[in-house]
Amino acid sequence: MTEAGSCECGSVAYSLTSDGPVHVYACHCLNCQTRSGSAFAEHAMVPASAFACEGTTTTYSRTANDIRFEEVFCDVCHTRLFNRNSALPDMIFLRAGTLAGSQKLEPIVHMWTRRKQHWISLPDGVPSFEESPTPEQFGAAVQQAQQRNSADR
């Protein structure tokens, strides 16, 4: 299955190849709220080997807690497309709103809910965590989503 996306102006386009649907998570932490200018950020974690990006981009780097972060933007319209970090160098953290058809996405996990805006109601049946889930908890949520997708087919 191939998914595609782009920046707002279309100068940068990307594709990703996956064995199944792209799993999106919503992060309600204060950093995501501040960096997105919104109540939360939607991300999709995808293997870098399955991701291809074309177009001119600008990369901004920063370091926090000994982890180097690289955030990649369109060089023309400055849409934030994805980021990488030194803790998980083989993964791309895609800004899920840049995916074509993003309005159909449903997060499989809500994290950092202790920081969520009070007016947001989380859906029943979707795992939520007051802070970051452990890798095992996140993996269990992915498995749960895959089982739901299989049952829906």
pLDDT for 10: 96
Measured distance CA(40)–CA(87) in Å, rounded: 22
pLDDT of res. 136: 87
* Sign (positive or negative) of CA dihedral 8, 37, 107, 119: negative
- Residue 153 predicted with pLDDT over 70: no
* Mean of pLDDT values over 4-16: 96
Which range among 14-23, 36-45, 68-77 shows the weakest confidence by mean pLDDT? 14-23
Task: Give the whole-number percent of the chain exceeding pLDDT 70.
Answer: 95
Mean pLDDT (the chain) is 90
Q: Which CATH number fits domain 2-152: 2.40.30.170, 3.40.50.300, 1.10.10.10, 2.170.150.70?
A: 2.170.150.70
Share of the chain above pLDDT 90, in %: 65
Q: What is the pLDDT of residues 68-114, one digit of tens each?
A: 999 999 999 999 999 999 998 999 999 999 999 888 888 999 999 99
- DSSP letters, 71-131, are EEEETTT--EEEEEETTSTTEEEEEGGGBTTGGG---SEEE-GGGS-TT--PPTTS-EESS
